Amino acid sequence: MSVVLQSAPFFALAAAAFMLAGALAAGALRALAGEALTRWAPQARYRVLVALSAVPPVAACWLTVVASVPSLVALVDPSADDCMSHGAEHAHLCFVHVPGATMHLELIVLLVTAAAYCALRLADAGLGVLRAARVTQALVRTAQRDEKRDLIVIESHHPVCFAAGLMNPRIVVSSGLLEALTPEEQLVAVAHERAHAERRDALSRLVVRATAALHLPGVGAWLRREAEVAAEQCCDEAAATAAGDRLLVASTILKVERLVRASGTSEPAAFADVSVALGTCAVERRVEALLVAPRVEPSLRLAGALTIAALGAALACAEGVHHLAESALSRIAH
Amino acid sequence: MSRSGHAPLLGDLEAAVMDHLWTGGEAEAKAVHAALGEARGITLNTIQSTLKRLYEKRLLDRDKVSHAHVYRVRMSREDFHRGLLGELVQEMWHGHADAVVSAFVDLAERAGPEHLARLEALVAERRRALGQGRR
């Protein structure tokens, strides 16, 4: 068996450990700054939440690459190889030497099971997304077009309005909603959805959903929820700018909420009161944010620079990360 | 609804045929071909098999008149859209549709009536305060 194949379980275990470290770091950040973050302006908050959701996979990929650097250097320059400086039984993150000892079988089974579980979950979610995409496509194909406003109008008394599609989202609105809203309110709803389409929120939401699954359970759900609320608030701000009236956006949200409630579009209704009882209703937060002046968007340059510095520092410490990972793996794997 | 319990999904040509029948009423394959097929450069056979597929999806009914089938829609455009919307809301409950749809208000979460009343009162109060400020 080749060196790479024999070393693969160690690299996989290292990646899983780095991912767990990333998830723990994100959990700690949420505990320390989560509450303060909910008070930030929506655009900056959204960006931070999306970045935070990417911490575990980025940590797994980057730190695995960093831990592999000494071995990659040894491939090019054999004199830099220091694998033999520790015992043969030591776990190797190495492309040059065959590991001295194999990993516990139980650990390999656990890794394979976890990978298979993730793949199944991903496939199930993928099929669901595909089905939803085909449903929206069927709606768009059979609906009538309002060329003037670039809208897809579906024949339904249900008051719905949404941006549909991942890469090239279209604005879909029901005839029932158009009849129920005044022209000014229609402008608000369409401007809100147009903002979703321009921001390609569906696409970034798909990424956040996938990466949130790699976080600790409570943190992942919080990230998804907060990112969704922040995206909605960004689009509310865009609609407020288009309409020139923040209160009109607030009252339109409430009106549509009442219409949806009355029409029974959202089923099963039994769940509705649960989400309200938890006190996390997005409508409440969106409307309350529109009742006050818009918050100033903070600059994220410092946060960006610190992130790049942290990634660079990890690379500069490649030797240390490599040995630390090998020592930790030796304890876990043998 | 199809036999699978899902709303039937349509390809581009199927959607065009349904649109034609919804708008123009019942028709034979030849008439549908004259309206859609010639412009798209497709044969009468393709239109016939599309109509047959829509019939098998239980979206169309047909009667044999003379030697030809006359097709008519089994459900209105609104009923068809209602089925698709229902399915979309279901997918939202499972968290799948969120990836392709961003709704103006979340279709899978309702604000309680007491919350709505409180928020409406807040908006009205703010509107009054702004009105007084301008005077």
Q: What pLDDT digit, counting tens, does each position of A233-250 carry?
A: 999 999 999 999 999 999
Closest partner CB to B101 (pick from A164, A272, A281): A164
What is residue A89's predicted lDDT score, i.e. its pLDDT?
A: 64
Q: DSSP letter for A35, please.
A: H
Mean pLDDT over A304-327 rounds to 90
**Mean pLDDT value of segment A272-284:** 46
Q: Calculate the alpha carbon distances from A243 to A199, A233, A247, A299 in Å.
A: 19, 15, 10, 26
Which chain B residues touch A162 with a CB distance below 8 Å? 101-104
Give the pLDDT band of residue A269 (cuts 50, 70, 90): very low
Nearest chain B Cα distance for residue A153, angstroms: 11
* Chain A residues with CB-CB distance to B82 below 8 A: 156, 158
Q: Which amino acid is at A14?
A: A
How many inter-chain contacts (A to B, CB under 8 Å) are there? 191
Q: What is the mean pLDDT of residues B60-68?
A: 89
* Nearest-10 crossing angle of helices B113-134, A282-290: 10
Per-residue model confidence (pLDDT) at position B26: 92
Query: Could you report the per-residue pLDDT of A192-216, keeping only the tens digit for each?
Result: 999 999 998 888 888 898 898 899 9
Query: Would you call A197 helix, strand, or coil by DSSP?
Result: helix
- Residue identified by tokens 């997304």 is A129
Residues of B in contact with A132 (CB under 8 A): 88, 91, 96-97, 99-101
Q: What ipTM was assigned to the predicted interfaces of this complex?
A: 0.74
Is B75's Cβ below 8 Å from some Cβ in A? no
Sorting pLDDT into bands at 50, 70 and 90, what band is A265? low
Instruction: State how beta strands B68-73 and A151-154 pair.
Output: unpaired
What is the amino acid identity at position A310?
A
How many angstroms separate the CA atoms of B1 and B83, rounded?
7
Phi, psi of B66 (to 5 degrees): 60, -120
Cα A263 to Cα A176, A190, B55, distances in angstroms: 10, 20, 31
Contact A141 B10 (CB under 8 A): yes
pLDDT tops 50 at residue A221? yes
The beta strands (E) that lie in chain A are given as 144-146, 151-154, 161-164, 170-174
Which of chain A's residues have a Cβ under 8 Å away from the Cβ of B89?
265-267
Q: What are the pLDDT digits (tens) for A3-59? A: 677 778 888 888 988 999 999 999 999 999 999 998 899 999 999 999 999 999 999
More confident site: A163 or B90: A163
Residue in A124, A130, A162, A233 to test binding to B, most B beta-carbons within 10 Å: A162
Q: Tell me which H or E stretch contains B69.
A: strand B68-73
> In which band, very low, low, confident or very high, does the pLDDT at A271 lie, cut at 50, 70 and 90?
very low
- A312 pLDDT band, cuts 50/70/90, is very high
Q: Which residue has better confidence, A170 or A331?
A: A170
Q: What is the mean pLDDT of residues A274-279?
A: 30
CB B74 within 8 A of CB B55: no
CB contact under 8 A, A160 and B111: no
The CB density around residue A318, as the number of other CB atoms within 10 Å, is: 19
Edge-to-edge strand order for the sheet containing B68-73? B27-28, B68-73, B60-65
- The arithmetic mean of pLDDT across residues B54-59, rounded, is 93
Largest Cα–Cα distance in chain B?
A: 78
Choose, out of A46, A121, A141, the residue to mutate when testing the contact with B (most B CBs < 10 Å): A141
Instruction: For Cα atoms A286, A129, B92, give the angle at the middle one, nearest 5 degrees.
Output: 40
How many residues in total does chain B contain?
135
Question: Both tokens of residue B134?
Answer: 């301008």
Q: Phi and psi at residue A253, in whole multiples of 5°?
A: -60, -45
DSSP for residue A236: H
A contact test, residue of B10, B101, B126, B128 with most A CBs within 10 A? B101
Render pLDDT for A82-124 as a digit per residue (tens, 0 to 9). 776 666 666 777 777 766 666 777 878 888 888 888 888 888 8
Tokens of A123: 């496939």
Helices (H), chain A: 3-37, 42-53, 55-76, 105-142, 175-180, 183-199, 201-212, 217-243, 246-263, 272-277, 282-290, 301-316, 318-333
Whether the Cβ atoms of residue B84 and residue A164 lie closer than 8 Å to each other: no
pLDDT category of residue A298 using cuts at 50, 70 and 90 = confident
> Would you place residue A310 in the very low, low, confident or very high pLDDT band (cuts 50, 70, 90)?
very high
The pLDDT-based confidence of B38 (bands split at 50, 70, 90) is: confident
Q: Are A281 and A214 in contact (CB under 8 A)?
A: no
Nearest-CA distance B78 → chain A (Å): 5
Question: Is the CB of A205 less than 8 angstroms away from the CB of B109?
Answer: no
The beta-carbon neighbor of A133 closest among B8, B100, B111 is B100
Contact assessment for residue B86 and residue B7, using Cβ atoms and an 8 Å cutoff: yes
Residues of B in contact with A260 (CB under 8 A): 105, 107, 110
> Which positions 2-61 of B are in contact with A (Cβ < 8 Å)?
6-10, 12, 15, 18-19, 22
**Mean model confidence pLDDT for chain A:** 85
pLDDT (0 to 100) of residue B107: 64
Task: Work out the minimum CA distance from B67 to partner chain A, whole angstroms.
Answer: 30
